[in-house]
Amino acid sequence: MNVSRQTGTIEQQRLVRELLNNFKKQQDSSSIKLVETHISWVLLAGRYAYKIKKAVKLEFLDFSSLQARRLYCEEELRLNRRLAPKVYLNVIAIGGSLENPVLDEGPAIEYAVRMRRFPVSKQFDQLAVKNQLLPGHIDNLAATISQFHSNLRAVDEHSTFGTATAVHHAAQQNFVQIRLLLTSPAVVELVAALNRASENEFSACRSVFEQRLNQGFVRECHGDLHLGNIVLMGEQAVPFDGIEFNPALRWIDVISEIAFTVMDLQYHQRAGLAFRFLNAYLETTGDYAGVRVLRFYLAYRALVRAKVYAIRAAQVGLPIHEATVVQASSHNLLALAADYFVRKKPVLIITHGLPGSGKTTFSQIALERFQAIRIRSDVERKRLYAVAPLADSRAKTGINLYSAEITQQTYLRLLTLTRTLLEAGYTVIVDAAFVDQTAREPFRMLAEELKLAFVVASIHAGNETMRKRIAQRLQAGNDASEADFAVLETLQQKQQPLSQQERVCNIDFVNEGESLTDVQSGWGMLDSIITSQSVIQSD
């Protein structure tokens, strides 16, 4: 083999070993580390990280030639600078010889992406393990990804990326790879059941995949947005290590992208933060229709990670204890994928309370606690007129968005979205005042039509408390609600008591203290309603 033109994995291992030795001679050896994945080595040395691609050829990538590795190093730089420009520095040649490699010198025997090093301890997967991943980090990530997606162009209409056929092919490739790698009888049986469930879900979603492609939701995304590929730099969530090696895996539906993060948060036992992220993204983008394919993509993403761990477990030279750990992770992810295909009847929860009573505080706690999807009247009211959630609607439109006519339009929009989300199988929380019985009744009837549990969560606070909260909110300008004292007084005059039918479904919460979580009896009742819902049998 001509090493100056192409190196195989054995030669690459020698190269990596000698680079590590050179770094240790030049720098404090305690700062020198090697991180290995199924497709790359990352050498951490001082202020920098050097990523070298393994000369491997798999079903979904081909790094077997030096020319290909150079191309994909350049693609990695281009793509990842979109989200992490301060991390990705340049592509460098590695020259010299296998026995004495030299960085940034030709002729090249290998290539590496040079990055600015950051603490591994700040990666989101590490923060999650240490219980240091905070709501603020999740909110920042949701804002970053929603803005990133909004700036991406849709795939060309003549492309094959994002078609239902492409989605199906990607899903089936997971099963092909997993069957080759995991061969114990119990796992083989589970994988077969998962394949059948995936096929059923795909068939149910086929027309939606094509519809979303035509509507422009297939874009050149990050493609690999699990927690290990997000780092906290200061207070900013920075995604890195997006997919460069296969365009079909990054030209995807934006919902497939966020499904990876949601899935991985759930895998790390952070279900509340998973739905905090999902809701923040949906609220910003308004892409609630995408939830119709979310379940398919959640299972798909769990299977992607299961495949990656299985590939790593099978690689030659992996220590036995590490192989055992990654194989167990693969099995756990298969179990998570199976959970996604188990549907329970959702619940419809509407809030009932005046401005400043704490409806949004309640709904935020509830969506995380029950893994629900929330839709807010204050946000959707503005979306009807293309007004951003925190923008001043009067300044933007000159219209009173709290007029009776626009309020009616808002509730009609909430009802439409609620049906879409319930039919997709997700518990829904509608965050609105619902002071008028005629506004509440269509939602009760929808739940009755779909044969679902219906809850009216009444949030109570004293007049002084509500006025104080409204004043603070208006001064801070950090909430979508523009309800002022005049709106409060109008709604106080309009509010109608719950009907006898509604009182049967009513749970009261008092929000005078610091936190609604202090009201245990109400939460206990909701817990009981949510957990009692029956499993929907699949075909």
| Least trusted range by pLDDT, from 214-223, 294-303, 479-488 | 479-488
According to the model, what pLDDT value does residue 106 have? 86
Q: How many CB atoms lie within 10 A of CB 197?
A: 19
Q: What is the mean pLDDT of the chain?
A: 93
Asked if residue 224 lies in contact with residue 242, where contact means CB atoms within 8 angstroms, the answer is yes
Asked if residue 220 lies in contact with residue 151, where contact means CB atoms within 8 angstroms, the answer is no
d(CA 213, CA 168): 14
Count of residues in the chain: 539
* Structure tokens that stand for 179 in this block: 């069957």
According to the model, what pLDDT value does residue 255 have? 98
Residues 6+ positions from 329 with CB-CB distance below 8 Å: 305, 306, 309
> Spelled out in words, what is the top-level CATH class assigned to the domain 124-341?
alpha beta
Pairing of strands 343-344, 251-253: unpaired
Asked if residue 359 lies in contact with residue 459, where contact means CB atoms within 8 angstroms, the answer is yes
Domain boundaries, the chain: 9-117, 124-341, 344-536
pLDDT higher than 70, residue 389: yes
**What average pLDDT does range 457-467 have in this prediction?**
94
Q: Give the DSSP per-residue string, 91-119.
A: EEEEEE-SSSEEET-SS-SEEEEEEE---
pLDDT higher than 70, residue 538: no
According to the model, what pLDDT value does residue 120 have? 92
According to the model, what pLDDT value does residue 311 have? 86
The overall longest dimension of the chain from CA atoms, in Å, is 86
**Three-point CA angle 520, 525, 528, nearest 5°:** 120
d(CA 270, CA 274): 6
According to the model, what pLDDT value does residue 366 have? 96
**What average pLDDT does range 39-50 have in this prediction?**
94
Closest CA to 225 of 192, 269, 263: 263
Phi–psi pair at 220, nearest 5 degrees:
-80, 90
3: pLDDT confidence band, cut at 50, 70 and 90?
very low
**What average pLDDT does range 247-256 have in this prediction?**
97
Asked if residue 341 lies in contact with residue 201, where contact means CB atoms within 8 angstroms, the answer is yes
pLDDT higher than 70, residue 519: no
Q: What kind of fold does domain 344-536 have according to CATH?
A: Rossmann fold (3.40.50)
Q: What is residue 66's three-state secondary structure?
A: helix
Q: How many CB atoms lie within 10 A of CB 366?
A: 25
How does DSSP classify residue 143?
H
Asked if residue 401 lies in contact with residue 381, where contact means CB atoms within 8 angstroms, the answer is yes
- Assigned architecture for domain 9-117: 2-Layer Sandwich (3.30)
Q: What is the pTM of this model?
A: 0.93
**What average pLDDT does range 278-298 have in this prediction?**
98
Q: Which residues pair with 58 in a beta bridge?
A: 61
- Residue keyed to tokens 């606690």: 369
* Structure tokens that stand for 376 in this block: 């807010």
Query: In 32-175, at which residue ranges do the beta strands (DSSP E only) sit?
Result: 33-36, 40-45, 48-53, 57-58, 61-62, 88-96, 101-103, 110-116
How does DSSP classify residue 123?
B
pLDDT higher than 60, residue 363: yes
pLDDT higher than 70, residue 302: yes
Span 167-188, pLDDT tens digits: 999 999 999 999 999 989 999 9
pLDDT > 70 in the chain, percent: 97
Q: How many CB atoms lie within 10 A of CB 448?
A: 12
* Structure tokens that stand for 235 in this block: 């207070």
Q: Residues 149-173, buried b or exposed e (16+ Cβ, 10 A)?
A: beebebbeeeeebbebebbbebbeb
Span 474-485, pLDDT tens digits: 999 888 998 899
**What average pLDDT does range 439-459 have in this prediction?**
97
Span 54-78, pLDDT tens digits: 999 888 889 999 999 999 999 999 9
**What average pLDDT does range 115-140 have in this prediction?**
97
Asked if residue 70 lies in contact with residue 54, where contact means CB atoms within 8 angstroms, the answer is no
d(CA 289, CA 272): 21
